[in-house]
Structure 1
Amino acid sequence: MPLVTEPLFWALAIPAFLITGISKGGFASGAGNVAVPLMALAVPAPQAAGIALPVLCAMDIAGLRAWWGKWSRRELLAILPGGLLGIALGTAVFGLLGDRQVKLMVGVISLAFLARSLWQARPGRVAPPPAQPDRWRGGFWSALSGLTSTVAHAGGPPLAVYLYPLRLDRAKLVATTVVFFGVINYVKLVPYFFLGQLSAQNLLTSLVLLPLAPIGVALGVWMAKRIEDRLFYRIVYVMLFVTGVKLVWDGLGL
C-alpha cells in the first residue's frame, strides 16, 4: 500500500503527534514519549519508529525557532558526545531486534518512566538540593538516551535523569532538551535509511502527519505560558500506562 491505511493507526497517531509537539513546544516537556508506544499498537514497532522520525525532525525545527539561544552550552557539551555514542549502540541493537522485542523494550521504558514520574510526584516528597553538573554522569545518561531514542524515540526519560536534578530554569531546560534531540534525530536519519525504516510507505505516511508538527509545537509554546502542566501530565500518564502494559503483554507473547 502507498501509505498506512489502518484506521486504528490514524486514530492513535494524530493525538500522539499532537501531544509530542506540545511537549516539544515546552509544555509538560517530559511527556513527549507517547508517539511510538501508541502507534505500535496498530503497526509493527520498528515501522512506528520509522514513521515518527521525519515528523520529529520537523518538530525539532519548530522547537528550535521557539527556544533559540536559550540553551545551556555547558550541558550540551556534556551530553551531546554521549548521545552520538548512544546512536551507534542503538543502531547495532536495532538491527538485531524483531517486532516483539522492540515492543517489549518500548513498553518497559514507558512503564519505567511512568513509575519514576509518579514516585517523584508523591505527596510529602522533599525535593533534594540541585545536583552539580558532572560530565561523566551526563555522558552515561545521554548515551543511554541516544540508544533508547534510536530504538524507539524514547530518549526523554534517561536524559531527564541527568538534567532534571540540575534544576535549570524552565526555558534553559526546554531549549537544551530541544537542541539535544534535534541533533540526535537528524543524525538518526542516516542509520534509519540504511536500516530500511525510511521506506516509501513510511515516508508518505510521515508526510500526511507532517502538518501536526508545527500545530503541536505552537500549542505547546502557547500552553507553556498560560496553563499548568498538571492536568496534561495526568492524561499522558494514563495513556502511557495503558499502552505500556499492552506493549509488554504483546512483547511477551501473552
Structure 2
Amino acid sequence: MFADPWFLLAACIAVILIGLAKGGFSGLGALATPVLALATGPVQAAAILLPLLIASDVVSVWSFRRDWNRRIVAIMLPGALLGIALGWLIAARLPVAAIMAALGLISVGFGVWRLWVERGGRMPAPTRASPLTGAAFGVATGFTSQIAHAGGPPFQIWVTPQRLPHTEYVGTNAILFAIINWAKVPAYIALGEFGAANLTASAALAPLAIASTLAGVWLVRRVHGARFYTIVYLLMIGLGIKLLIDAV
C-alpha cells in the first residue's frame, strides 16, 4: 500500500486529522475515514484507522484523565454500546449514503443554529439535558461510529449545549470514545478486516497519530473556552458539508 503515493498522502492526512481530533478538536475525526477511503475501500479505511484511533485514545485519555464528566459518560455509554451492536447487525442492509446525508444535515443545521445563538460573543446559559435524550444520542453515537467512525456529531449535539469547561469536554469525549473504539474491535475481527496488510499499515502510521494527538492536546489547552466552542461548531458545519458531499 505504501508504494502508492496517493495512499500515502491520504493516510497521512487522515492520521493527522485523527490525532488533532483526539487531542481536542473532535469535529475533525469523522473526516478521516472519508479521506482515506479516497485511496482504499471504505471498510478497509475504517479497519486501518481503528487501531490508530485506539493508540491516539491512550494519549488523549492520559492527557485529560482528571478532566471528564462522569455523569455524561454514564448516561451515553450504555446507548453507545447498543448502537455499536445495531450498526454491526444492520448496517449492511442500510444505504450508508443515506445515513451520512442525514448526519450531515443534522451537523450543518445544529452548527449554524448554535453559532447564531452565540453571535456577538454572547455566552448562552448551560443546559442540563435529560438522561433519556442523552441515552438516545448515545445510541446514535455508537451506531454512526461503528459504520464510519463518525460518532462525533451526535455526541456534540447533546454535550456542547451543556457548556462544560473545554478541557472537561475534551476529556469526556476521550473517555467515551476510547471505550467505544475498543467495543468495535470484535466486529472488525468478525469482518476479517484485521489482516496482516491492514495491521502493518496501522503500525507504520501509529507514530504520526501519537505525535498529532500530542499536538492537538497542546493546542486545545491554549484556546479560550468561548473560542473553543466556536471552533467546534465551525468544524461541525464543515464536517456536515463533507458528509453531504460524500452522500451524493
TM-score by structure 1 length? 0.83
Kindly, what percent of the aligned residue pairs are identical? Answer: 33
CA offset at residue 24 of structure 1?
A: 1.2
Task: Report which of the two has the higher share of helix.
Answer: 2
Gaps of 5+ in 1: 250-254
CA offset at residue 125 of structure 1?
A: 8.9
Contact 2:27–2:235 (8 Å) recurs in 1: no
Q: Which residue of structure 2 aligns with residue 207 of structure 1?
A: 203
Instruction: Check if 1:130 corresponds to 2:126.
Output: yes
CA offset at residue 33 of structure 1?
A: 1.6
- 1:1-254 mapped onto 2 (5 Å cutoff): 3=1, 5-26=3-24, 28-96=25-93, 101-102=95-96, 105-106=99-100, 109-110=103-104, 112-122=106-116, 123=119, 128-227=124-223, 240=239, 243-249=242-248
Contact 2:167–2:221 (8 Å) recurs in 1: no
- Structure 1 pair 233/38, CA: closer, same or farther in 2 (3 Å)? farther
Tell me how many residue pairs correspond in the alignment: 243
For the residue of structure 1 that corresponds to 2:81, the secondary structure is helix
CA offset at residue 191 of structure 1?
A: 1.1
Higher mean alpha-carbon deviation, 233-242 vs 37-46, is at 233-242
Higher mean alpha-carbon deviation, 238-247 vs 135-144, is at 238-247
Contact 2:67–2:167 (8 Å) recurs in 1: yes
Q: Which residue of structure 2 aligns with residue 252 of structure 1?
A: none
* Amino acid in the other structure paired with 1:121: L
TM-score by structure 2 length? 0.85
Provide the C-alpha distance between the structure 2 equivalents of 1:154 and 1:197, rounded to a whole number of angstroms: 18
Gaps of 5+ in 2: none
Per-residue CA distance 1:129-148 (angstroms, 9 max, x = gap): 32214211110001110000
For the residue of structure 2 that corresponds to 1:89, the secondary structure is helix
For the residue of structure 1 that corresponds to 2:93, the secondary structure is coil
CA offset at residue 115 of structure 1?
A: 4.3
CA offset at residue 204 of structure 1?
A: 1.6
Provide the C-alpha distance between the structure 2 equivalents of 1:24 and 1:130, rounded to a whole number of angstroms: 24
Q: CA RMSD in A?
A: 2.7
* Amino acid in the other structure paired with 1:247: D
Contact 2:115–2:233 (8 Å) recurs in 1: no
For the residue of structure 2 that corresponds to 1:33, the secondary structure is helix
Contact 1:107–1:243 (8 Å) recurs in 2: no
Provide the C-alpha distance between the structure 2 equivalents of 1:10 and 1:119, rounded to a whole number of angstroms: 37
* Amino acid in the other structure paired with 2:69: S
Provide the C-alpha distance between the structure 2 equivalents of 1:126 and 1:158, rounded to a whole number of angstroms: 24
Higher mean alpha-carbon deviation, 104-113 vs 204-213, is at 104-113
